[in-house]
Amino acid sequence: MAEVLTNEKVSPVGVARLFSGSTVLCDGAMGTMLYARGIFINRCYDELNLSQPEMVREVHSEYLQAGAEVIETNTFGANRFRLEHFGFGDKVREINVAGVKLARQCVEQIREKQASEAFVAGSIGPLGVRLEPLGKVGLDEAREAFAEQISAMVEGGPGVGVDLLVIETLTSLVEAEQAIRAARSVAPEVPVIVMMTVDEDGNCLDGASAETAATKLTAWGADAIGCNCSAGPATVLSVIERMRPLTMLPLAAMPNAGIPRAVEGRTIYLTSPEYMASFTRKLVKAGASFVGGCCGTTPSYIRAMKSSLRAMDAMETGAQVMEKTSADKTATAEVKNKVAPPPLAQRSKIGSMVARGEFVRLVEIVPPKGIDCSKELDGAAYLHRLGVDAINVPDSPRASARMSAQSLCVQIQQHVGIETVLHYTCRDRNVLSIQSDLLGASSIGLKNILCLTGDPPKLGNYPDATAVFDVDAIGLVNVVRNLNCGLDIGKNSIGGSTGFTIAVAANPGVPDIDQEVRRFAYKVEAGAEYAITQPVFDMRVLEEFLKRIEGFRIPVIAGIWPLTSLRNAEFMKNDLRVSMPESIMARMAAATSPDAAKAEGVKIAQEMLEEARPMVQGVQVSAPFGKFPAAAQVLGLV
């Protein structure tokens, strides 16, 4: 990369840091935000830099406040060809200079208020015309148009002009080459990121493969390359994975919020911020250094992605939102404060059974939606009398508002005397409240924790509720393991071990089984001691999953769900995406009455249990809709 010129208003070291391989969070869509403010799509969005600058400033500020380290100027279409379409062909310089000035003002403001460093990237989109040999515009004309726009963006030098250039959403490598050549001729000292957009197969729209794009963009002198826009995060992830082996440059990934859908006359992007945040981790693990959003993304997406990046730090270190001391000091403090947790067999009844290889029988009881849990307590007592080993209590499953799982666990243990397994999700708590909750849970006798990421609020009955996700399940396992070693997230002593048994979830039937296996390996590495699966109806799926984790196998407890009706089976298959063989669907469809359907569901579950028994170390049976006798029947206790 060319040397960056110095200026007292900008740190050349800081700009160079962006290309050092560390993860950099960029902003999201500008057009989406302007459209949401009532700007119709027939307007020239770039001209708003002149006519409505305050609106543009507001968008930049919202992205910076959400955690973006790089914001792009509102100049995506500010080249002579696109501006001529709106009658602004003579305002190329004026619009681009204004766009840079607005972004620079916001960056300086955030630097003064929060003492945080942010950077201005000049956004350069495709010219919007066909180039030779397919179109009338010559390559030299295209290069001149790009150069004209870039010249305005870098006017004034570092600290006044842009810190870097983002050439994005290009559909043709021919056009990408002209843009890079223009940038190198006009501003050789300014770093350049070039991103192509691709079809659903991951190929550029001119037919070039992702591999070809990576090779050529690297050879032409880009400082970072990648993919933006396209068909959403999954497609962009595949492109990043294909590009990574073919270049040593930093990679950039800024996907759309999925494929837009027409809803009641409006174009809506249905991918949630939480979903985008989950892909942020995947993109970084695949090699992306620059991550951000494109069409459909807003500050809420960037905020969720910021939390996701913080979660990755916790996965690696087990310590989140804490400034690191020097490596020596940290190691010394950890050794000094660390204690040995009790052996697994001494922590709880479940821990003892897992350690001895005994077959564990769990039943899941969902907390009530109100304050009366007498039905749940009666159910737990009934199951305890029959010999069930412990009760599993979910934590607001499907993001529904229910009595806290921790409260129901305490009441079951105090009033019934049976041990519980507390499901604990990261959705609703930051790392401070997670730590407080877990310390409190240990102090009142809850010793079995199932570490979960949690369903996003969009799935529940309060879709506008916000999620936290400071860490995910992997990071949570790290936190719990540290507490078991007598350490808080800052490696400070908590006075002893919390003594938890650490369980994690596994989903053998998930469509992306490779990702599930990778995450399971991370969970085991983080400290998981046994796993509980999602409901399993296809034993071939379970068997295949167990083979895939053979190299890092921990005891596995299989989830068993007694179906209650054909509609229940359809919901499991289509809404929850559980692998459901057609033979089971047919058996449920053949039931002639509700009672017959329930009986058939129990029979199927019994068959699943017997088939799974040789492969696993226990079962967790759900009690659908509070039908505790059905769970007992599945376990053969009645």
Binding site membership: which residues? Answer: 229, 294-295
Within 10 angstroms of residue 338's Cβ, the number of other Cβ atoms is 15
Residue type, position 450, single letter: L
Residue 635, helix vs strand vs coil: coil
Tell me which residue has tokens 């310590």. 319
Q: Are strands 266-268 and 261-263 parallel, antiparallel or unpaired?
A: antiparallel
**What backbone phi and psi angles, to 5 degrees, belong to 450?**
-100, 110
Residue type, position 58, single letter: E
Tell me which residue has tokens 């990121």. 193
* Residue 289, token pair as written in the block: 């250094």
- Sheet containing 192-196: order of strands: 24-25, 288-291, 251-255, 224-229, 192-196, 164-170, 119-124, 70-72
Tell me which residue has tokens 């090699």. 287
Q: Which residue numbers belong to the known binding site for Zn(2+)?
A: 229, 294-295
* CA dist., res. 83 & res. 44, Å (int): 8
* CA dist., res. 329 & res. 566, Å (int): 60
* CA dist., res. 526 & res. 396, Å (int): 25
591: alpha, beta or left? (left if phi > 0; alpha if psi -120 to 50) = beta
* CA dist., res. 638 & res. 634, Å (int): 9
Selection from 562, 571, 563, 566 nearest residue 589 by Cα: 566
* Residue 415, token pair as written in the block: 């009033």
Selection from 418, 425, 372, 420 nearest residue 396 by Cα: 425
Selection from 423, 27, 506, 570 nearest residue 252 by Cα: 27
DSSP 317-378: HS--S-----HHHHHHHHHHH--PPPPHHHH-HHHHHHHHTPPEEEEE-PPPSSS--HHHHH
Q: Spell out the residues 6+ positions from residue 381 whose beta carbon is closer than 8 angstroms to its own.
A: 415, 416, 418
| Structural element, H or E, at residue 618 | strand 618-622
* Residue 88, token pair as written in the block: 């602004």
Greatest CA span in the chain, whole angstroms? Answer: 84
Cα separation of the two ends of the chain = 73
Half-sphere CA count of 100, side-chain side, radius 13 A? 27
Q: Spell out the residues 6+ positions from residue 113 whose beta carbon is closer than 8 angstroms to its own.
A: none
Give, in order, the Cα–Cα distances in Å from 332 to each of 256, 325, 478, 495. Answer: 45, 11, 19, 17
